[in-house]
Chains A and B, each alone.
Chain A
Amino acid sequence: MSTAGSSKVMTTKEAIGRFVHDGDSVITGNYTEGMPMSMIFELIRQRKKNLTYYSQSGSIDAEFLVAGDCVDRMCSAFIHKWAGRGFGSMVERYQRAGKLLVEDYTNFTYNARLAAGAFGYSFMPVLPAIMDSDVFKVRNSGYMGEKKFDVVKCPFTGREIPVVPAANPDVCLLHVQRADRKGNAQHWGGLGSTVHACLASKTIIVSCEELVDYDIIKSSPHHTIVPAFRVSAVIEEPYGCHPCDLPGYSNPDRPMYSLINSAFYCEDGLKSLLDEWVYGLPDRNAYIRHYIDLFGQDTLNRYRARSYYSAPADYGVAFESAWDANGRSIDLGVDMEGLVQLIEEKGELVYVK
């Protein structure tokens, strides 16, 4: 539902406070490209609880949220093991301790749940080979029980088809290159399951590197991945996905990744990282200032993208009006006066009081 008249533009603090509630299911879209880190930090800062978190490729996003005790349940297709075999990952530690229920899908079956949710279907067929995998066979190790998958018979071929239930998360957090004030969100680069993640969700919060005028959006609609009428909040948040990457803006920030990675190698490393970088700072501005204090402006700049522009797509047309430059109808060859005459002669006139 679009909120006509009232502005959707707000701060991350306002958006997360207003639209994410304890117990909600929350989804982020991609691998780690464009990961909405600022919003993830804000979820932790506001100490959101009992979330069900959908993360296709569980990386630092999932690690931070789990370490921040925000998440009870997780649906995922991958968990990056930050500290290798030794300390593993926070997701793994919580899962093994029984503090986190994880439902494991494959990238495709995970995405198929979202596609079903986005299209309004209640389930989606997936590819038959999954029936040989323990991803399909092992149930009851997460929170969905037997209904993680099911099998239906194709009414046309009679074949068995594995299916997954639709997923419709409460809130999608999306970070993009640019958006307008109404929420038309433009992203380019590897899309992953981002679009289905957004369109399956009930509420979408968009943060962007740059807030732009609608003129920019309407000249490049092929980059719009979510239309304004689906979006509830828009945040202009430069460096909103740092240290993750975003085409046109930044590479993965290796020095920051190195710092984060070292935190995984001790028991409470991640907790102290959260104290310093999340709880200890009010917002993303302060985060970037803290980064600059520690690493220097030159380091931040080194990972900033150098532009490589897409060739403009020419959306031009021959006629933008039914009337030519001389005020004559292109189809009828008459001017407006001539049209009135023509209407009186040939029109099917009706007489109204």
Chain B
Amino acid sequence: MLSKKITKQELLVVTAAREIKNGDVAVLGIGLPILAGAVAKQTHAPDAVLMMESGIIDFEPRVLPANVADATCTRGYGYATDLFSVFTTITYAGYLDKAFLGVAQIDKYGNINTSYLGKPPEAERITAAGGAPEFFAYAKESILTMKGKGFVEKLPYFTSPGYLGGGDERERSGRYTPGSGPRMLITGKGIFKFDPVTREMYLDALFPGINVESVRADVPWDLKMADTLHAFPIPTDEEIDFLRKLSPISAFPVTMGYQLSAAYHNSEREKKATCR
């Protein structure tokens, strides 16, 4: 049951949280994925094993972490290991059910760019690869989130694999966990999935208040649609209450959240400076 007003950011977190099943071993990126993991574990997936690639395995996010090895994530957790072991003994060895990471640019087959908007070293940088290429290659399935309008016909830089050129190309290459690949992309306008045969991305659900034209406007190819477009899930009070307790700033867009927080901290500092 939902009895309160919620924000776009909160709906996105809860939508993502519903994708984590009880018992999943899931690696979470900083930001929305961490929040989604925390909500899932608190509500419908208490036995999910949440992990971060720094070697923090089976943890419970208590506050919004600032980095992948954040001290706030190691106050009580099940298995302390390191990055090398995460990618080998857990990921490549086949024990990672879900990789849950944010992306910047995506093409119609779910291939990802998080590195450069052109040719390095002159091109503008996005961030870089981080752990994404190996997680997207060897997790049994991947769930992607994207903030902006990052749909492109051709990636200027291919950081991480989706379904490569589509069809069974990924499967045939022999370089990937069989059956793996991106399962869905969640954005502020919709949920996108991938055709099981062609592996081409299609629109599966529309974000509340968004129409198909608005989605198409961001996509440079002729975007396919599900036969019936689905709705986003409706959060429960329990999910929203927990999320607000976990990370009050996450009710806002990321930049706004940090601006509000910085404004508060900076005004506190100035108050002290005047008192001196």
Contacts and interface: CB of A to CB of B under 8 A. Distances in A.
A278 interface: no
B159 interface: yes
Contacts of A196: 82, 84
Interface stretch (B68-76, B196-204, B221-229, B234-242): B68-76
A188 B127 contact: no
Contact of A127 (B55, B81, B134): B134
B84 A247 contact: no
B83 interface: yes
A279 interface: no
Interface in B217-276: 255, 258, 261-262, 265-266, 268-269, 272-273, 276
B173 interface: yes
Nearest to A256: B265
Nearest to A246: B71
Contacts of A130: 133-134, 137
B125 A252 contact: no
B127 A189 contact: no
Q: Is the interface of B mostly helix, strand, loop or mixed?
A: loop
A34 B54 CA distance: 13
Interface in A99-133: 101-102, 104-108, 111-112, 115, 127-133
Nearest to A105: B129
B82 A192 contact: yes
B80 interface: yes
Contact of B158 (A80, A96, A134): A134
B52 interface: yes
Contacts of B76: 308
Contact of A96 (B92, B122, B129): B122
A290 interface: no
Interface in B52-70: 52-56, 63, 66-70
Nearest to A94: B121
A267 B87 CA distance: 39
Given A107-B131, A191-B80, A305 B160 contact: no
